[in-house]
């Protein structure tokens, strides 16, 4: 028997304090039933990791949101990359791998580091800042669209579009309704911005179009793959950086370590992704009757993977609830795992490292000067505002 747990993982009460719910899902059984959403839930690292690694058992083509595409039509065109299985997934993924390859991202480092250093100087003059608007949003928005090759106009659409994409995986709640109201204009913009004539030569976006010229993918697929990067590439890094700042500010001993050794910036970002899990959850669907953690799952079962719970599973981590920038956070599932593991992770890590290292060099202390305000989304965890004072070194 699979035990039931009475919680709605897409409610604002849950978002305000998800940790007791995560512990209940994780500690009750390897698999639980969540009547509030009519889905199974999995919160242990071993089972979440198993599902991520076995796409044949848990395909993504039936949707990674709560809706089973076999039963309910998608709210938008399904993701051309995340919501596909091999062999379709394989060729498209190879193109994105190439456009976001280590060598490509390495070429972006000098510009990212210069942008981070310049931002820190401006913020130090300001003194009192909002860690979310002025750093977590400003930095990715300042560097990612240029790397992707976007035109200057319309960038204000990126965050609202991402907000919709990540709300769309959840149930029909008020968050999704609010996002859907904005969708038509945003979707039209995103489609337009993904066309070849809107992208800068030499950019990551243009490389995807050039892969179509070379025959690796079709000319219909290319703009849709550019659009995938524009959907998934901004809000995720914004919330990753926000998570790092929030926890470094909350735990001053950790800031002191980073300030003393800015080379720890990369590890600090990684630990923030483990500890806060900016992408909290998504779903898979059982492709056939199967078994998970010794429990039977029927064909068609939707299973909600609590990445955040797995990232604090005491079976996998020592002192999982302590934020420790010197720990080896490797093996967390904050970027997923397996064939769909975050294709932009190298770029995301560069953004995190560049920004945190620039701050660490110049800021002796981060002081929280007001109440942090949470931002609610069906998939993403993060803040709307984080009032900070930067104390120059």
Residue 80 in contact with ligand Z7Z, rule: CB under 6 A: yes
Q: Name the E strands within 131-276.
A: none
Compose the 236-275 pattern: x for residues touching ligand Z7Z by CB under 6 A, - for all others: x---------------------------------------
Tokens of 78: 């399904």
Rounded Cα–Cα distance for residues 62 and 75 (Å): 13
Helices (H) and strands (E) in the chain, counts: 15, 11
Q: How far is the CB of 200 from ligand Z7Z (least distance, A)?
A: 21
Tokens of 58: 């848990």
| 3-state DSSP assignment of residue 257 | helix
Residue 163 in contact with ligand Z7Z, rule: CB under 6 A: no
- Between 279 and 355, whose beta carbon lies closer to ligand Z7Z? 279
Rounded Cα–Cα distance for residues 218 and 221 (Å): 5
Give the Cβ contact number of residue 103 at 10 Å: 7
Q: How far is the CB of 195 from ligand Z7Z (least distance, A)?
A: 16
Tokens of 279: 């992408």
Q: How far is the CB of 236 from ligand Z7Z (least distance, A)?
A: 6
Choose among 230, 274, 11, 269: nearest CA to 135.
269
Residue 234 in contact with ligand Z7Z, rule: CB under 6 A: no
Rounded Cα–Cα distance for residues 230 and 187 (Å): 11
Q: How far is the CB of 82 from ligand Z7Z (least distance, A)?
A: 4
| 247-280 CB burial, b ≥16 within 10 A, e <16 | bbbebeebbebbbeebebbbbbbbbbbbbbbbbb
- Between 203 and 378, whose beta carbon lies closer to ligand Z7Z? 378
Residue 165 in contact with ligand Z7Z, rule: CB under 6 A: yes
Residue 194 in contact with ligand Z7Z, rule: CB under 6 A: no
Rounded Cα–Cα distance for residues 55 and 217 (Å): 22
Member of 232, 295, 297, 363 binding ligand Z7Z (CB under 6 A) = 232
- Between 21 and 65, whose beta carbon lies closer to ligand Z7Z? 65
Give the Cβ contact number of residue 339 at 10 Å: 16
Restricting to residues 331-350, which ones interact with ligand Z7Z according to CB under 6 A?
Answer: none
Q: How far is the CB of 72 from ligand Z7Z (least distance, A)?
A: 18
Residue 228 in contact with ligand Z7Z, rule: CB under 6 A: yes
Using the rule CB under 6 A, give the single segment among 112-120, 230-238, 256-264, 382-390 that binds ligand Z7Z. 230-238
Choose among 156, 176, 154: nearest CA to 165.
176
The residue whose two tokens read 């000098």 is 110
Restricting to residues 91-130, which ones interact with ligand Z7Z according to CB under 6 A?
Answer: none
Contact present, 376 and 177 (Cβ < 8 Å): no
Restricting to residues 281-300, which ones interact with ligand Z7Z according to CB under 6 A?
Answer: 282
Using the rule CB under 6 A, give the single segment among 35-43, 76-84, 141-149, 294-302 that binds ligand Z7Z. 76-84
Using the rule CB under 6 A, give the single segment among 98-106, 192-200, 224-232, 293-301 that binds ligand Z7Z. 224-232
Member of 29, 66, 81, 119 binding ligand Z7Z (CB under 6 A) = 81
Residues 6+ apart with CB under 8 A from 25: 5, 7, 32, 41, 42, 43, 306, 309
Q: How far is the CB of 140 from ligand Z7Z (least distance, A)?
A: 14
Contact present, 377 and 275 (Cβ < 8 Å): no
The count of residues interacting with ligand Z7Z (CB under 6 A) is: 11
Q: How far is the CB of 237 from ligand Z7Z (least distance, A)?
A: 11
Q: How far is the CB of 260 from ligand Z7Z (least distance, A)?
A: 33
Residue 48 in contact with ligand Z7Z, rule: CB under 6 A: no
Tokens of 304: 């909600």
Binding site for ligand Z7Z (CB under 6 A): 79-82, 165, 228, 231-232, 236, 279, 282
């Amino acid at each position: 028997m699979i035990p039931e747990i009475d919680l709605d993982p897409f409610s604002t009460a849950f978002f305000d304090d998800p940790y007791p719910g995560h512990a209940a899902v994780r500690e009750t059984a390897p698999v639980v039933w969540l009547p509030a959403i009519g889905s199974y839930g999995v919160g242990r690292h071993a089972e979440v990791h198993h599902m991520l690694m076995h796409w044949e058992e848990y395909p993504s083509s039936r949707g990674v949101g709560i809706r089973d595409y076999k039963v309910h039509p998608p709210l938008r065109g399904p993701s051309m990359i995340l919501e596909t299985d091999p062999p379709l997934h394989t060729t498209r993924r190879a193109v994105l791998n190439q456009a976001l390859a280590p060598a490509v991202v390495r070429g972006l480092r000098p510009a990212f580091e210069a942008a981070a250093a310049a931002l820190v100087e401006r913020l130090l003059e300001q003194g009192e800042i909002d860690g979310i608007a002025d750093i977590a949003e400003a930095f990715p928005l300042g560097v990612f669209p240029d790397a992707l090759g976007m035109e200057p106009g319309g960038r204000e659409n990126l965050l609202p579009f991402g907000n919709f994409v990540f709300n769309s995986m959840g149930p029909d709640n008020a968050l999704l309704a609010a996002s859907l109201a904005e969708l038509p204009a945003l979707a039209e913009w995103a489609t337009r911005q993904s066309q070849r004539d809107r992208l800068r030569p030499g950019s990551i976006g243009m490389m995807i179009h050039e892969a179509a010229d070379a025959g690796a993918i079709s000319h219909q697929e290319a703009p849709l793959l550019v659009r995938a990067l524009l959907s998934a590439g901004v809000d995720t890094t914004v919330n990753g950086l926000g998570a790092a700042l929030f926890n470094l500010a909350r735990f001053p001993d950790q800031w002191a370590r980073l300030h003393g050794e800015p080379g720890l910036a990369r590890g600090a970002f990684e630990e923030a992704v483990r500890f806060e899990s900016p992408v909290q959850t998504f779903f898979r669907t059982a492709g056939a009757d199967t078994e998970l953690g010794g429990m039977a799952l029927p064909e068609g079962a939707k299973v909600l993977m609590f990445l955040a719970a797995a990232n604090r599973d005491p079976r996998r981590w020592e002192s999982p609830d302590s934020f420790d920038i010197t720990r080896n956070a490797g093996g967390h599932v904050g970027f997923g795992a397996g064939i769909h593991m975050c294709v932009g992770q190298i770029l995301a890590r560069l953004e995190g490292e560049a920004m945190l290292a620039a701050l660490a060099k110049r800021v002796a202390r981060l002081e929280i000067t007001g109440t942090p305000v949470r931002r609610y989304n069906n998939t993403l965890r993060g803040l709307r505002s984080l009032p900070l004072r930067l104390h120059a070194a």
